[in-house]
Structure 1
């Protein structure tokens, strides 16, 4: 089930007798919200800023760096400007860390594409090259609470840039997270409808790499001709030169050499996924919630299968 439109959520919620204002840190549902779960029957959601009760309404909650604001606020306890900004961050794919010229900010790129940390927001840098055009179209976008970046690209970006459907088109994505299983299905459907499109995907990390639906999704993309690779050092340098905002930028500002161990680990894990062998990457956290990565190879057969990864 897809999340409903945010306006629909708030209208239903408040028309059932709501008052109130914003959902901030929902303590009683902290674990559930961590995984962005649907909550089909909610008796009470209590935060430090609101108490909302509804016995039947299912709605989507998501913990994020900023509070989730109920956009419809009849008592005006949240300013109009705040509601407007928060609504924008719910639906706008280019509002965080992206310039008006379609470039990603330096600090956003460095933070979001560092494979040694697990950032929440998914960014996509993309290049579209039509065979009848000399110059490619290059820009970037990010996920929102309602939609992953891949779906935004398929349903909005590509349709806006599309020319003659008979003309061959080459698309390259540079993604901070690999597509999830559901997005993989929609990507396959998109490619089936667009036989003249060729897609290459580079990823900094693999999204929930042990979930079988995500592993199957990546294999299914490979089976329809999509090239999926982990970003290596030359790719990071290319993205830095091509997609990062030029203001005050110097080549010495960015040197991702320390990414090499994580590039190797994710490359081995991607290889295990595409070869349909058991996962070899373990990710845990220490007491400070710092990610800890380790390589776990079960037997000689898996070891032999992984030697072809050659990250």
Structure 2
């Protein structure tokens, strides 16, 4: 699922967001990754698809960190495109206990990817910018789940241990 806050791209249904982005440790039934993104360009105006004179700053908000295969693809893409800066904000870590997964996350970091765990404020940002609101309703406020802060701290610790 791709969504951008500045386009008419389809937004996530609120029910999907509340289930798929929830930063729980045991993510049973959450077998898809949802990606929302923000793209900023710096440099001269250009209409080219990928202009090497521009710097592209991309922020992904994803429900789960990438698998090994996707992490390797991200690493290769960053190595090939030096003008690309990628920050990945993740709701939870995918299979982080596995050595192969940890190695893949470290390779992403060494290729220049900034990996971050989503804070409660980040979930609120996604809610406000990427989640569908019902027609004619006042925008509903984001209601954090009970353990959102503890889960953020748990994953932040794990990620710091992996990337140290």
Q: TM-score range by the shorter chain?
A: 0.7 to 0.9
Shift, 1:246, TM fit? 2.9
- Which residue of 203, 222, 247 maps to 2:90? 203
Deviates more, 1:241-250 or 1:229-238: 241-250
Structure having greater relative contact order (Cα 8 Å, sep ≥ 6): 2
- Alignment partners' CA distance in 2, 1:213 and 1:249: 46
Aligned position for 2:154: 265
Q: Is 1:233–1:257's contact at 8 Å kept on the other side of the alignment?
A: no
Q: Is 2:78–2:112's contact at 8 Å kept on the other side of the alignment?
A: no
What TM-score comes out, normalization by structure 1 length? 0.45
Larger C-alpha radius of gyration, 1 or 2? 1
Q: How many residues align?
A: 151
Give the direction of change, closer, same or farther, for the CA distance of 1:256–1:179 in structure 2 (3 Å limit): same
- How is 1:119-268 mapped onto 2 (pairs within 5 angstroms)? 119-132=30-43, 162-247=49-134, 248=137, 250-252=139-141, 254-258=142-146, 259-268=148-157
- Alignment partners' CA distance in 1, 2:74 and 2:140: 34
Aligned position for 1:109: 17
Consecutive unaligned residues of structure 2, counting only runs of 5 or more, are: 3-7
- Alignment partners' CA distance in 2, 1:231 and 1:169: 21
- How is 1:19-34 mapped onto 2 (pairs within 5 angstroms)? none
Secondary structure at the aligned position of 1:174 is classed as: strand
Shift, 1:102, TM fit? 2.4
- Alignment partners' CA distance in 2, 1:274 and 1:208: 15
Shift, 1:133, TM fit? 8.3
Q: Which runs of 4+ in 1 moved over 4 A?
A: none
Consecutive unaligned residues of structure 1, counting only runs of 5 or more, are: 1-92, 95-99, 135-160, 276-311
Q: Is 2:36–2:62's contact at 8 Å kept on the other side of the alignment?
A: yes
- Alignment partners' CA distance in 2, 1:176 and 1:185: 18
- Alignment partners' CA distance in 2, 1:101 and 1:229: 25
- Alignment partners' CA distance in 2, 1:201 and 1:133: 25
